[in-house]
A and B are shown apart, each in its own frame.
Chain A
């Protein structure tokens, strides 16, 4: 792996010399009284548990920069079905330690006990930990005294109310620079739901927790650095767009004491900023082509401190080297010093590169983490295994999974298991006495399943052994084992983009985003930056475990086409208004929809000029255009008529309920989320503009459009059936006519021969 060329020796020597008896200030008794933050349980999952043996698992992350104190508690507010008997119970475990139990229900033939409850459970010290925690609720919800049978009894339920919270006692600690923990080190205050960052009411937006600051006049290097920082922040998954603000570096003085953030700019741009002396000195001494990456802690140790990453360079090339370093968690783990003078962009070792490639060849289940599968207990169970099938690839139809499994003979005939790859069902296998021994069953992997991060092979079982006492353990009688020598053979091919149905995958043709580029107008615009932030966060959230994220970005303008080096061999998005898209693509590319007219008064839809005033100004458009720079690559021009498209653009890119409805090569969406799709590759009877008018007519609603779609489909079916019927009928008629004619001819000949015989 190529290591960034860094000035190790002088820095190490300086460090060693400086590490001779140095007066490092003692920490002092920074005993701040413990305080607490509340984590609503329902933020981590649905609060309803149903079924006789209901179980629900909540995983949540706690920040690593604070110290967890005694005094944490779990406040459970719940209600349960009034039909439960008082043999019904629930238990709560936190990190494998049982911390609470409760009884539910009423006595048979007795007075109905309360089916609402509130309990406050102290959490023993040391149970909560920084990082991931797991809270498991298990229930026995019985409505009859008889042996339980029906796992899906609708009368057996309990649910937690929004008042259920985990109250975490903590104390602040002085921060220290730890660049290698980026982005969690910057974003983790979000996990705490602190009042200072919460919205006082629904009308006001919450105060952002993180800021990304860059110069007002930002070029490709600055904007790309900004995008890389945003994608990496998105990898935390828990960072919503509202928690991150964008702004100019002039706001740094004010914001450095209020939030964490990332400060981006060339050294000239940062010269006036309140940075520590040693950072300024390092900036001043940068050579051409060198970048700087630093982490600074602001605020006295006794207060809540803030953490800022400084991303800079002597020039654009240096800045980008620093940004690429920030974009690589592998590179950050080698950070030799703070500040870090980056003289060479980081590389990707073969080992790391493997994470961006699918597993090749058949794999044994035992080779995956956690290996073979053993599902125990009656009714529903499920488990997953992570498999190397990253974004940028899709399955072909040659793949399969050979399950080598066994189960006890006594399973009821309703028992079965189902396998999924990501969200796609591969198939189900019934569990019967005749396949209870060690049996092999193959399920084909259908083509077209897209890789994800992480990709999961999920096995869900339903194991039934008939009437049983649910209160007792039944794991020994109901189990399913899928042995480690089961084979998974995913045959994959690079992801194909054919139409807008895969708009959400357009930037994910490489798991490290190396084949993704965003083209944005060169004019400074806060909305542009905000949109870049949202897209970056979204992309990062789709790639939470990838060690490297290096999206590209290029600006464009009326007289400045995008830098070829930033767009070739890549697919991506062209952001901007319909009037700006042609500037990105150049004259040789014909767009399906674009702004036009001498005074910007027209939209040109497949050559047809339509007044802009005919369109709803809130419409957002997206069209898929083959890349004019590289064959086989695609760009989606997305935005509004006049601007970036606002929420419409964001929704098209980030909301599954929106982008899963896209089809064809051009789509539009309005403020009511009515979507229109059109495919220029097929002959259309109605013009694009007319179809659009029809789709967005004021009296049409989403349901209407959906109904229209259904009616269209039904009509199509009816037409097809009618056509077939008519064709068949015609064929039968003709066949009948032919037969009748043949019969008549034969009969006539017979009569003639008879008459001739009589005459003779």
Chain B
């Protein structure tokens, strides 16, 4: 009887201490949104990268965050943009003891070592060097870099000039430390990949290609699209076509509507998924009857519940227009939708085809990555084919942007 009671008590304590999945989401705590003497938003890229794993990111400035926030969160990300976040002692203590998954970035990276937080870590700028991760290397320069003493066996990624590589990212138990700001690739890609181990699903999908024929409009060549559709169908490659019929380049002539829709229909019957570009998104679907669009691209009115193709954007500097942010994997949208990245852009001649191969190679080195190869629809067929062949040279499989959507599925469907 006594034993049973003790066991019951232990179970209740254990239950009380056990994580409650799903309710708290991701808590992002930071000192300031910008670096000292800079107006550039450094927090937004981190929030965007976290959207790969969760649509609900709860942001709190260090001086506003409470212990209750930490207790409620399922996963914790602490970012020191300019310096170590000024957390209350209670919050600091919680962070030191918590068994929840935690990521410590920038000046807060020391938190990942599990010991007491070191304050006043001075950042430095690393000279151009190599970023080494998972056996691949990228050219990178890091500024700011927040040096931290790390056990070499725990280091996941290093960066710096040859012979002077410094630990960039490491894992210690349930904690990830990242000694820089993941504002741009390749740092952002390494950061996102590392998070898979703590935030991601048990099994990630293999790297993939997504072919995106971008902006097929009535000034483009229907013949070229048809030939490209035949080419894809012959190789059983699914692809996406983003389309609109409002905005034509100046000086061009529009093909007849029947021909335009006929070409889209042909592409659709040969494996294309049609995405409506701009405008009112899926509300414009009726204009494309009988074609059934699968999603949208860069709508004028945001619709975060739909399946989308494009790039997330944010205002780097307050007051300035939004600019795109590079992602290398599909991103959850707050409304339940998903965003497929259109992140490989090239041109028409040999030199740029080499660049496409390089871009694809860089992206597919990461788990669960998607190289969204943008093929401008105005190009002649041969040029479009060259872009496709350059990307296919990687040997990576192409995916259907509808069939391969990660769960949960988008809420909004046409």
Footprint of B on A, CB under 8 Å?
A: 8, 12, 15-16, 18-29, 64, 67-68, 129-130, 173, 176-181, 333-334, 336-338, 351
Contact = CB atoms under 8 A, between A and B. Distances in A.
A27 B392 contact: yes
A180 B230 contact: yes
A74 to B, nearest CB: 21
Contacts of A22: 236, 397
B380 interface: yes
A173 B262 CA distance: 27
State which size class the interface on B falls in.
Answer: 20 to 34
A12 B226 contact: no
Contact of A176 (B234, B266, B393, B395): B234
A333 B262 CA distance: 9
Interface string B214-235: 0000000000001100110111
Interface in B390-406: 392-395, 397-400, 403-404
B271 interface: yes
B269 interface: yes
Given A129-B380, A180-B226, A333 B266 contact: yes
A27 B403 contact: no
Interface in B226-249: 226-227, 230-231, 233-238
A15 B271 contact: yes
Nearest to B391: A26
Given A22-B397, A177-B230, 14 more contacts: A15-B233, A19-B271, A19-B400, A19-B403, A20-B399, A24-B235, A24-B237, A25-B235, A176-B234, A180-B230, A333-B266, A334-B262, A334-B266, A338-B234
Contacts of B208: 21
Interface in B262-316: 262, 266, 269-271
B64 interface: no
Contacts of B233: 15, 177, 337-338
Contacts of B399: 20-21
Contacts of A178: 227, 230-231, 234
B389 interface: yes
Given A26-B393, A29-B393, A176-B231, A21 B226 contact: no
A16 B400 contact: yes
Contacts of A24: 235-237, 392, 397-398
A22 B397 CA distance: 6
A176 B235 CA distance: 8
A321 B320 CA distance: 62
Contact of A19 (B206, B236, B258, B262): B236
B382 interface: yes
15 contacts: A15-B271, A19-B400, A22-B236, A24-B236, A24-B237, A24-B397, A27-B393, A64-B381, A67-B382, A130-B380, A178-B231, A179-B230, A180-B230, A336-B269, A351-B258
A20 B404 contact: yes
Interface of B: 205-206, 208, 226-227, 230-231, 233-238, 258, 262, 266, 269-271, 380-382, 385, 389, 392-395, 397-400, 403-404
A177 B226 CA distance: 12
Contacts of A179: 230
B258 to A, nearest CB: 8
A455 to B, nearest CB: 22
B368 to A, nearest CB: 13
Contacts of B266: 180, 333-334
A64 B238 CA distance: 23
Nearest to A70: B350
Contacts of B400: 16, 19-20
B238 A19 contact: yes
A352 to B, nearest CB: 11
Q: Which of B205, B235, B262, B394 has the most CB of A within 10 A?
A: B235
A471 to B, nearest CB: 32
Nearest to A68: B382
Nearest to B268: A12
Contact of A23 (B381, B382, B397): B397
A67 B364 CA distance: 28
Contacts of A19: 236-238, 271, 400, 403
B222 to A, nearest CB: 9
Contact of A21 (B227, B230, B231, B397): B397
A268 to B, nearest CB: 28
A177 B403 contact: no
A124 to B, nearest CB: 12
A23 B380 CA distance: 27
A569 to B, nearest CB: 31
A266 B169 CA distance: 67
A291 to B, nearest CB: 19
B363 to A, nearest CB: 16
Contact of A333 (B205, B226, B231, B393): B226
A15 B233 CA distance: 9
Q: In the A-B complex, list the 4 residue pairs whose CB atoms are closest, starting with the nearest.
A: A176-B234, A178-B230, A19-B238, A26-B395
B347 to A, nearest CB: 12
A173 B206 CA distance: 29
Contacts of B270: 15, 336
Nearest to A176: B234
Contacts of A8: 269
A21 B404 contact: yes
Nearest to B392: A26
A180 B228 CA distance: 12
A721 B122 CA distance: 122
A8 B270 CA distance: 11
B230 A176 contact: yes
B389 A27 contact: yes
Nearest to B206: A21
B359 to A, nearest CB: 16
B294 to A, nearest CB: 11
Nearest to B234: A176
Contacts of A26: 392-395
A336 B235 CA distance: 15
A26 B269 CA distance: 23
Contacts of B262: 333-334
Contacts of A20: 399-400, 403-404
B304 to A, nearest CB: 26
Nearest to B256: A351
Contacts of B381: 64, 130
A19 B209 CA distance: 13
Contacts of A28: 393
A181 B235 CA distance: 17
A75 B186 CA distance: 50
Contacts of B271: 15-16, 19
B269 to A, nearest CB: 5
A64 B389 CA distance: 17
Contacts of B403: 16, 19-20
B377 to A, nearest CB: 18
Contacts of A29: 393
Contacts of B398: 24
Contacts of B380: 129-130
A351 B262 CA distance: 14
Contacts of A27: 389, 392-393
A276 to B, nearest CB: 13
Nearest to B386: A67
Contacts of A333: 226, 262, 266
Contacts of A130: 380-382
Contacts of B235: 24-25, 176
A717 to B, nearest CB: 58
B257 to A, nearest CB: 12
Q: Which of B262, B269, B385, B404 has the most CB of A within 10 A?
A: B269
Contacts of A16: 271, 400, 403
A186 B394 CA distance: 31
B55 to A, nearest CB: 25
A200 B394 CA distance: 44
Contacts of B393: 26-29
A130 to B, nearest CB: 7
Nearest to B399: A21
